[in-house]
Amino acid sequence: MASLRTNLLAAVLIGLASVAAAQPLDDVPQLRQFTQGSPGFLRFRIVDGRATLVCRNAANFQSQNSRGPGQKETISVNNTNGRPTLKYERTTPNEKFTLDVAAGDKVAIGRVPRGKSSFTAVEFQESPNEEITLTLGTGDHRQVFRAADLWRLAIAQPKECREHLFPLLDLLRPDWKIATMVARVETSLLARAGEDVTADRARWAALVEQLGNDQFTKREAADRALRAGAASALSYLRQLDFDRLDAEQQFRVRRIICALAGKSEDDSTDEVAASLARDSTVWLALLGRPELAVRQTAARQLAALLGEPIGVDPAAEPDTQKAKRERLRTRIEKK
């Protein structure tokens, strides 16, 4: 398994390196100061595939700097009950970069060219309970991509994300190295192919049911078993409809989720891969990749998840299978 993961990661990283970089970003010194340097009390995290902002100290501030002709930088933070609002703008002769965060989890990032620059304009939008959107270009050349979360967007639109979105996210927190993390998620996901996700799902469902058992010993046993399930169990628990659970089940499930993930930790590679492994649309996206081994793995996993032949030949060139993949998408959406 270790050698398989190593080979898969190498393949993904080679593909990543072949992607042309967009025009380099201008520096964002004040944003870096408040998120990475002193006082450094703002911290971005990725939780459940969403960017969130955590304010470590209860402080409000505003600052504005002009660092030369055509250059201006402003930042303001308002922290209300631990849910910070951040507004940042950096204007240079080459570009305008904006970042708006409301209540810690409504995020908007924009980058547009100025002067003689001609790179593609980028807009990223994220709001609770809504799909995230990535918009590239303007006017007739405008493209809009949507997904349930960042990880699914990255797998569905790898080139667009690596060229345009990931550099912006890395400005928020350079140690993320989003492109490398996505590559590791894909590697872990591909290595998981063949696991009986249906059996896992049935097991977790039975244990959640047991959390509401009349006998205390059985509730405790189910609690321990779910905790032992680590990332796979955590992924299942996070997708539960709490309205269908009784009070005891809700209490225990929330406690288990907190124990397995922590309230302020970033998503882990294994946790994300476990979450994506049951998503047929993720495997459908991988079915269109240029690497034959990836397409073959995706085809096998899709057939297992759907319980029937997929009608797409993974050995054929992806471009020749577009229509068949779209028909398969329609079948998946109807299930």
If pLDDT is split at 50, 70 and 90, which confidence band does 199 have?
confident
Average pLDDT of 55-78?
A: 80
Instruction: Give buried/exposed letters for 269-303 (b at 16+ CB in 10 A, else e).
Output: bbbbbbbbbbbbbbbbbbbbbebeebbebbbebbe
- Specify the range with the lowest mean pLDDT, choosing from 11-15, 82-86, 108-112, 136-140: 11-15
Residue 195 tokens, joined: 């696991």
Average pLDDT of 206-233?
A: 90
If pLDDT is split at 50, 70 and 90, which confidence band does 9 have?
low
- Indicate the DSSP class of residue 24: P
pLDDT at 21: 44
Q: d(Cα 252, Cα 132) in Å, to the nearest integer?
A: 30
Residue 131 pLDDT greater than 80, yes or no = yes
* Bridge partner residues of 253 (DSSP): none
pLDDT at 211: 94
If pLDDT is split at 50, 70 and 90, which confidence band does 20 have?
very low
Per-chain mean pLDDT for the chain: 85
% of the chain exceeding 90 in pLDDT: 51
Q: d(Cα 43, Cα 16) in Å, to the nearest integer?
A: 27
Q: Which residues contact 115 (CB under 8 A, 6 or more apart)?
A: 70, 93, 94
pLDDT at 132: 97
% of the chain exceeding 70 in pLDDT: 88
Per DSSP, the residues of 41-54 read -EEEEEETTEEEEE
If pLDDT is split at 50, 70 and 90, which confidence band does 40 have?
low
pLDDT tens column, 263-308: 446 888 888 888 898 899 999 999 999 999 999 999 999 998 898 9
Q: d(Cα 189, Cα 280) in Å, to the nearest integer?
A: 12
pLDDT at 14: 45
Average pLDDT of 133-144?
A: 94
pLDDT tens column, 75-120: 998 887 778 899 999 999 999 999 999 988 899 999 999 989 989 9
Long-range CB contacts (< 8 A, 24+ apart) of 130-134?
132/50, 134/160, 134/161, 134/164, 134/165
More confident residue, 163 or 270: 163
pLDDT at 167: 92
Q: d(Cα 85, Cα 76) in Å, to the nearest integer?
A: 8
pLDDT at 7: 53
Residue 39 pLDDT greater than 80, yes or no = no
Q: d(Cα 197, Cα 187) in Å, to the nearest integer?
A: 17
What's this model's pTM, rounded to 2 decimal places? 0.80
Residue 207 tokens, joined: 């244990």
If pLDDT is split at 50, 70 and 90, which confidence band does 182 have?
very high
pLDDT at 17: 44
Q: d(Cα 6, Cα 248) in Å, to the nearest integer?
A: 43
Q: What angle, rounded to 10 degrees, do the helices at 322-334 and 292-306 form?
A: 30
More confident residue, 174 or 245: 245
- Specify the range with the lowest mean pLDDT, choosing from 59-68, 171-180, 214-223, 320-329: 59-68
